[in-house]
């Protein structure tokens, strides 16, 4: 452990000295799950390939399916935005660790209204997605948007149809903002939606809202940015209407209590800082601690170690917030519990 701590203090050497011996030849690894994390994992995989000899095949199938696949050991790692319960991790011999943080944003399709010109609150969002608010010129929306010409259009909520960590994050936020939502609907990767239409994946929700006048949905920010979708400002805990962007995500992430987060499951929703975006989450990798092929697990760790050392610029370019260095160090310590990690060989 003393050796591991010394190496963790010198991140630039970790890839070569700690994980460099994992695979002396090219290795193919497969991951599956979170569509929230797909843009960054695809980018990291492409950038790391020549340096690590690891080729990543990542399947963006939703957090719920990703968790199921890693439990079934049909992939080398699963990916989920919803942290897995400690008992479930223990029962299935899984280690959970975060990779980046990002924002879940609200997108709309309202002709004549540009990005971040519409203001909403968590309470009003809950009423929209529960079907209680059905028109865009409803008095509750109008009260938040003086001077904005709201159309007399039907509200068309769009939600995830698949098991989704993005849904868990969004529904958790609605549960914090609205007592009725918390008691009647709650938060999980799959919930019984009271209203609206379903679409598969972040990309499916983005496409459906883009093609539906009056549509409103929730996606990871990269999907809104990539597709030039109209985002809204949300009222944060400090009482400010805030636009979604890397700066507001970073301010929210600064409020995370990593020290007391069991299995790294930090709560970044509605943190109190000025300028903080209210719907921010870490996204997680799940890896077996008892892999049948330890070399595969070692290759997974090699890839993410490279990403921690070299991938911050790629992450911020895609509007994700990199993990603090101290959290990365703690994650590396946790990796020693994985079969295939160098200290376990």
Distance from C-alpha of 201 to C-alpha of 35, rounded to nearest angstrom? 6
Residue 236 in tokens: 């944060």
Distance from C-alpha of 121 to C-alpha of 177, rounded to nearest angstrom? 8
* Residue 37, SS3 per DSSP: coil
SS (H, E, C) 245-304: CHHHHHHHHCCCCHHHCHHHCCCCECCCCCCCCCEEEEEEEEEECCCCCHHHHHHHHHHH
Long-range contacts of 189-194 (CB under 8 A, 24+ apart): 189/62, 189/63, 189/64, 189/67, 189/80, 189/82, 189/163, 189/164, 189/165, 190/64, 190/162, 190/163, 190/164, 191/167, 193/129, 193/157, 193/159, 194/129, 194/130, 194/131
Res. 23: pLDDT tops 90: no
Q: What are phi and psi of 120, to 5 degrees?
A: -135, 165
Q: Which domains does the chain have, with CATH numbers?
A: 2-102+282-344 (3.40.190.10), 104-255 (3.40.190.10)
Res. 338: pLDDT tops 60: yes
Tens digit of each residue's pLDDT (9 = 90 or more) over 301-336: 999 999 999 999 999 999 999 999 999 999 999 999
Predicted confidence band of residue 9 (pLDDT cuts 50, 70, 90): very low
Distance from C-alpha of 11 to C-alpha of 17, rounded to nearest angstrom? 10
Tens digit of each residue's pLDDT (9 = 90 or more) over 166-179: 999 999 999 999 99
User: What end-to-end distance do the CA atoms of the chain give, in Å?
Assistant: 14
Predicted confidence band of residue 343 (pLDDT cuts 50, 70, 90): low
Half-sphere exposure of 140 (CA within 13 A, CB side): 13
Q: Quick check: pTM over 0.85?
A: yes
Place of tokens 């800082």: 273
Predicted confidence band of residue 4 (pLDDT cuts 50, 70, 90): very low
Residue 159, judged by CB atoms within 10 A of its CB (0-12, 13-18, 19+), counts as buried
How far, CA to CA in Å, does 312 sit from each of 39, 69, 104, 319?
14, 28, 19, 10
Residue 328 in tokens: 């990365």
Distance from C-alpha of 68 to C-alpha of 84, rounded to nearest angstrom? 11
- Is there a contact between 130 and 145 (Cβ–Cβ < 8 Å)? no
Widest CA span in the chain: 66
Tens digit of each residue's pLDDT (9 = 90 or more) over 231-265: 999 999 999 999 999 999 999 999 899 999 999 99
């Amino acid at each position: 452990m003393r050796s591991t701590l010394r190496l963790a203090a010198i991140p630039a050497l970790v890839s070569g000295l700690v994980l460099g011996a994992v695979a002396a030849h090219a290795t193919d690894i497969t991951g599956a799950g979170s569509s929230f994390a797909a843009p960054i994992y695809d980018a990291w995989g492409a950038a790391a390939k020549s340096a690590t000899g690891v080729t990543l095949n990542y399947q963006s199938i939703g957090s719920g399916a990703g968790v199921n696949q890693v439990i079934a050991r049909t992939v080398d790692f699963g990916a989920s935005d919803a942290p897995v319960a400690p008992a479930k991790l223990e029962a299935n011999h899984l280690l959970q660790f975060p990779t980046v943080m990002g924002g879940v944003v609200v997108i709309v399709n309202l002709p004549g209204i540009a990005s971040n010109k519409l203001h909403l609150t968590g309470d009003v969002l809950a009423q929209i997605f529960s079907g209680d608010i059905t028109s865009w010129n409803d008095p509750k929306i109008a009260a938040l948007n003086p001077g904005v010409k709201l159309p007399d259009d039907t509200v068309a909520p769009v939600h995830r149809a698949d098991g989704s960590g993005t849904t868990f994050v969004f529904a958790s936020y609605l549960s914090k903002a609205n007592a009725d939502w918390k008691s009647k609907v709650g938060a999980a990767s799959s919930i019984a939606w009271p209203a609206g239409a379903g679409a598969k994946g972040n990309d499916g929700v983005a496409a459906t809202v883009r093609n539906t006048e009056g549509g409103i949905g929730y996606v990871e920010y990269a999907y809104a940015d990539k597709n030039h979708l109209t985002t809204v400002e949300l009222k944060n805990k400090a009482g400010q209407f805030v636009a979604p962007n890397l700066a507001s995500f970073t301010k929210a992430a600064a409020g995370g209590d990593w020290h007391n987060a069991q299995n790294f499951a930090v709560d970044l929703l509605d943190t109190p800082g000025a300028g903080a975006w209210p719907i921010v989450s870490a996204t997680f990798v799940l890896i077996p601690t008892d892999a049948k092929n330890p070399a595969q697990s070692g290759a997974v760790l090699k890839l993410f170690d490279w990403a921690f050392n070299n991938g911050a610029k790629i992450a911020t370019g895609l509007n994700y917030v990199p993990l603090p260095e101290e959290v990365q160090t703690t994650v590396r310590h946790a990796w020693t519990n994985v079969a295939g990690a160098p200290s376990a060989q």
